[in-house]
Chains A and B, each alone.
Chain A
Amino acid sequence: MSSETREDLIAEVSRKFGISPEDYMLPARHMINLLNPDGSLRSHEEQGTEPGHEYPLPSPAELIRAYEALVVGRRVNDQNSALVRQGRMAVYPSSHGQEACQVAAALCLQDGDWLFPTYRDSVAVMTKGVAPMEVMTSFRGEWHCGYDTKQYKVAPMATPLTTQLLHAVGVAHAAKLRGENTVVVAMCGDGATSEGDFHEALNFAAVFHLPVIFFVQNNKYAISVPLSSQSAAPSLAHKAVGYGMAGERVDGNDLIALMAIMGRAVRLAREGGGPLLIEAHTYRMQAHTNADDDKRYREDAEVAEWVAKDPVKRMESYLADSGLLGDEVSERISAHAEQVAKTLRDGMNQEADTDPAELFNHVYSQPTAQLKEQAALLADELAREEA
């Protein structure tokens, strides 16, 4: 779809439903939500969809595959938090409670598509296919990024906020110039939408009409600062219209809604519809990292409220009630999750693969004369320590 075709479509839908093109870009009045917290399917009228905002449901096979990734993701989050408590891992920003977002962000993509994750998106990175121990390289303090970014089409997990959104725009731009059909999902959190690069990335993506889906996990806190102190916008999704792209809100603990909305976004982007902004409402169930104390800035009652909206239980109830999740499938999925957890435990027991000489190897394509001198100095120091 060219930008002209896209504009024609917007004009047609706008005429059909009597809304202005600007309104077409605005999020639907209500957050898109297909499953109730107890796992029951909402009636069509209650799903939040409006003209121009309809979503086809994923197939049963897609739902089971996604549920499996959800269960594995939860197990990985809890296993890693335990490994940090035991002192076997340096740090782990857990996405416990946000696993539905993690899974949907990765599963909506095809092999040639790129994912741009943040430090809290380990589960999305694993779901895209990166081996668990390669994902955790940085959290065990071995090196900064442990996987082959080009092989997996997954950018390094970004620690600075929203700088990676511009890289996502660049990857999409290069692909577009070569006539490739690549879609890019770029992730960030609610606090990160205050950063300047968030603005520049959305603006560049819209101006160059690039297939990038900006996926904001609104987990309500930027470390300790609540969203109300972060933005005065009606919603984060509303920010999209200022750039000339459509924005949408979705229940970020509702995997089915997420898959529907992300699936549609990827399809539109691949057809040439340009960028989209999606805000997923979720909740960070644990502290920012093990170094944080969330009791200083939020009430237990608030956390308890979100326990009832848990994305894993919700999906499990839906699948069980729909007859899609038999004992055999359920056991296979649990065994898979346990096996991944064991891989992580065993991996963390191994000595990290580090060599001080490597410090000088990747600064430039060839070490400079000065780096060679410094490498020799360190080698000499180490040799004297050993002697």
Chain B
Amino acid sequence: MTATASAVNGNVSAETAQAAAAKAAANQPVTFGKALNTALADALTADESVVIFGEDVGVLGGVFRITDGLTARFGNTRCFDTPLAESGIVGMAVGMAMNDMRPVIEMQFDAFAYPAFEQIASHVAKMRNRTRGRLPLPMVIRIPYAGGVGGVEHHCDSSEAYYAHTPGLKVFTPSTVSDAYLMLREAIDSPDPVVFFEPKKLYWSKDQVDLEELAEQYESQRAAKAEGKARIARPGTDATLVTYGPSVSVALEAAKIAAEEGRNLEVIDIRTIVPFDDETVSASVRKTGRAVVIGEAQGFVSVASEITARIQERCFHSLAAPVLRVTGFDIPFPAPTLEKHHLPSAERILDAVDQLQWEA
């Protein structure tokens, strides 16, 4: 190696080290909540028709701080508090969307969205159809949902099935920090109304992601966005765990334990309940021949039931065992000290996997 070459190489190494240091700084762990907050801020910047409103979303920044700092940064015409009335919040958003705005509204908790159900089911979902396509309603209804945080009654419902059962609504639920950012941006840009379910136990979860890089990635791939695509969260060969939202981390935990026991499980994160990605789910189950569907909601007439039925219809001849479900019990969400018995656990998932008629 010549002196010149060495000097050049030395410089390159120094630059690489600097870049790596900068990258490390940028790659401070980011919380799920911060990713959502950044997605909202970026959407407000990108599109002046975006407005955010709801209960306590202004000065306080929301009870989970997802709208933290937005009123201060963008003003109280872009992010503001409303009177305490959920039907009013959704109904006003319908009118604003009719008049060319893109409302992103917050329901404070899952069960608090029920007063708005008529507005959502009869108007948000149906306006495009009622008007023969002339009046689309692009808007996002953010709902913190599900349990695992020790919440009191009416604060922990998994209400996704009500909305998934309503034609005209899209239903998204991210399970990773980067999806929190990307899927919320997609939801806001969608020409269709999106009910956006945020697993509240994940708000404080962290990951090494570069939000600026994600933003660039979102902008550059906007045309080819992945809306409606399920994600293979863990590749595997022996059985498929199909799940979404708060249960993805539990399924991954189960898969990790199974791997130690010699079973290689594939985990699929549905990401969007509507539209539903039959293709990815079916391809996986045809490959593994076995499936367990997991959802935190009570199991009777649930999203897990629908997924199970779809797998039976599409993959019957590839199945070595009946498709099983692991869900919450058919009970109202329990008080905090009892919730651990209700929520699907890794153990309960592994018990179900054990029942998939393995050859001795």
Contacts from A to B (Cβ < 8 Å): 114, 143-146, 148-150, 155-156, 160, 163, 165-175, 177, 196-197, 200-201, 203-204, 207, 358, 361-365, 368-370
Contact = CB atoms under 8 A, between A and B. Distances in A.
28 contacts: A145-B130, A146-B132, A148-B134, A149-B131, A156-B127, A156-B130, A160-B118, A160-B122, A163-B122, A166-B87, A167-B95, A169-B91, A170-B97, A170-B99, A172-B95, A173-B95, A174-B96, A174-B98, A197-B88, A200-B87, A200-B91, A201-B91, A204-B85, A362-B131, A364-B168, A364-B170, A368-B228, A369-B275
B88 A201 contact: yes
A364 B101 contact: no
A169 B95 contact: yes
A166 B276 CA distance: 32
B123 interface: yes
B92 interface: yes
Contacts of A148: 134
Given A143-B132, A364-B170, A167 B123 contact: yes
B311 interface: no
Interface in B91-122: 91-101, 103, 115, 118-119, 122
A370 B275 contact: yes
Nearest to B138: A365
A173 B82 CA distance: 12
Given A369-B278, A370-B278, A170 B92 contact: yes
The 5 closest A-B pairs by CB, nearest first: A170-B95, A166-B91, A200-B88, A174-B99, A167-B95
A150 B134 contact: yes
B119 to A, nearest CB: 6
Given A160-B118, A363-B129, A166 B191 contact: no
Interface in B193-240: 228
Interface string B137-179: 0000000000000000000000000000001101000000000
Nearest to A186: B95
Contacts of B87: 166, 196-197, 200
A117 to B, nearest CB: 14
A365 B133 CA distance: 8
A362 B274 contact: no
B101 A370 contact: no
B98 A171 contact: yes
Contact of A362 (B91, B123, B132, B190): B132
B339 interface: no
A193 B188 CA distance: 34
A150 B170 contact: no
A181 B337 CA distance: 55
Contacts of A363: 128-129, 167-168
Contacts of B94: 166-167, 170
Contact of B132 (A145, A167, A201): A145
Q: Which of A166, A204, A358 has the most CB of B within 10 A?
A: A166
Contacts of B253: none
B103 to A, nearest CB: 8
Contact of A171 (B96, B127, B134): B96
Nearest to A196: B87
Interface string B19-46: 0000000000000000000000000000
Given A144-B126, A364-B192, 7 more contacts: A156-B127, A167-B95, A167-B98, A204-B85, A361-B133, A364-B168, A370-B278
A166 B95 contact: yes
Contacts of A368: 228, 274-276
A149 B134 contact: yes
Nearest to A172: B95
Given A145-B132, A149-B134, A362-B128, A155 B98 contact: yes
A149 B123 CA distance: 14
A163 B91 contact: yes
B99 A175 contact: yes
A125 B16 CA distance: 69
A309 B168 CA distance: 46
A369 B130 CA distance: 21
B106 to A, nearest CB: 16
Nearest to B93: A170
Contacts of A207: 82-83
Contacts of B96: 170-171, 173-174
Contacts of B254: none
B51 interface: yes
Given A171-B98, A175-B99, A364 B128 contact: yes
B136 interface: yes
Given A200-B88, A370-B278, A168 B95 contact: yes
Contact of B91 (A174, A177, A197, A365): A197
Interface in B294-328: none
Nearest to A170: B95
